[in-house]
Structure 1
Amino acid sequence: MLFPRRALLGAGGGLAAATLLPSLSEAAAPFRNDLPPAWYRFRIGQFEATVVSDGRLPLGQPAPAFPASPPQEIADLMRSNFLPVNEANLEQNALIVNTGRQLVLFDTGMGESMGAASQMFGPTTGRLLRNMRAAGIEPSQIDMVILTHAHCDHCWALVDAQGNRNFPNAQVAVTEADLRFWTDPANKRGPEFMTAFIDGATKNLNAYRDRLVMVRDGQEVVPGIQAMAAPGHTVGHTIYAVTSGNQTVVNTGDLAHHQVLLLQRPLWEFSFDTDPKQSAQTRSRALERFATDRTQILSYHFPWPGLGHVVKAGEGYTWLPSPMEVTSLG
Structure 2
Amino acid sequence: MTTSLRSIPRRQVLGGIAASGAMLTLSGLAHAKMPIGLPQAPYFHRFKLGDAECTIVSDGQLPLGDPAAAFLNISKEEITRELHDNFLPADNAVLEQNVLVANFGDRVVLFDTGMGTDTLFGDGTGKLMSTLKQAGIDPAGVDAVVMSHAHIDHCGGLIADSGSINFPNAQYFIGEPDYAYWTDDSKIPDNYPARPHFLAQARKNLLPLKDRIHFYKDNEEILPGITVLSAPGHTVSHSIFMINSGGKQLCYIGDLAHHPVLLLERPRTQFAFDTDPVQSAESRVRMLTMLAANRTPLLAYHFAWPGIGHVAKAGDGFQYFPLPLQQQSVGSI
Q: Do Structure 1 and Structure 2 share a fold, with TM-score over 0.5?
A: yes
Which position in structure 1 is the counterpart of 2:104? Answer: 99
One-letter amino acid of the structure 2 residue matched with residue 213 of structure 1: H
3-state SS of paired residue (2:289): helix
Deviations 1:285-322 (A, max 9, x none): 11111111101000000011110001111221111111
Which position in structure 1 is the counterpart of 2:183? Answer: 183
5+ long unaligned stretches in structure 2: 1-12
The correspondence for 1:78, drawn from 80, 83, 103, is 83
5+ long unaligned stretches in structure 1: 1-13, 113-117
Stretch of structure 1 that moved more, 21-30 or 136-145: 21-30
Using the aligned pairs only, state the percent identity. Answer: 45
Which position in structure 2 is the counterpart of 1:3? Answer: none
The CA distance in 2 between the partners of 1:151 and 1:129, in whole Å, is 19
Which position in structure 2 is the counterpart of 1:61? Answer: 66
User: Would you say 1:124 and 2:129 are equivalent positions?
Assistant: no
For the 8 Å contact 2:193–2:273, the answer to whether it is kept is no
For the 8 Å contact 1:171–1:208, the answer to whether it is kept is no
One-letter amino acid of the structure 1 residue matched with residue 230 of structure 2: A
The correspondence for 2:95, drawn from 76, 79, 90, is 90
Cα RMSD for the two superposed structures: 2.1
The CA distance in 1 between the partners of 2:14 and 2:116, in whole Å, is 51
TM-score by length of 1: 0.90
Stretch of structure 1 that moved more, 56-65 or 24-33: 24-33
Which position in structure 2 is the counterpart of 1:6? Answer: none
The CA distance in 2 between the partners of 1:130 and 1:79, in whole Å, is 34
TM-score by length of 2: 0.89
Aligned-pair CA distance for 1:30: 2.4
- 1:97-176 maps to which residues of 2 (within 5 A)? 97-112=102-117, 118-176=118-176
Which position in structure 1 is the counterpart of 2:3? Answer: none
3-state SS of paired residue (2:186): helix
3-state SS of paired residue (1:163): coil
Distance change (3 Å), C-alpha of 1:15 and 1:178: farther
The CA distance in 1 between the partners of 2:33 and 2:235, in whole Å, is 51
The CA distance in 2 between the partners of 1:234 and 1:101, in whole Å, is 32
The CA distance in 2 between the partners of 1:34 and 1:65, in whole Å, is 31
Q: May I ask how many residue pairs the two structures share in their alignment?
A: 312
Runs ≥4 residues deviating over 4 A: 14-28
- 1:1-330 maps to which residues of 2 (within 5 A)? 20=21, 28-32=33-37, 34-112=39-117, 118-188=118-188, 189-326=190-327, 327-328=329-330
Distance change (3 Å), C-alpha of 1:299 and 1:16: farther
3-state SS of paired residue (1:319): strand
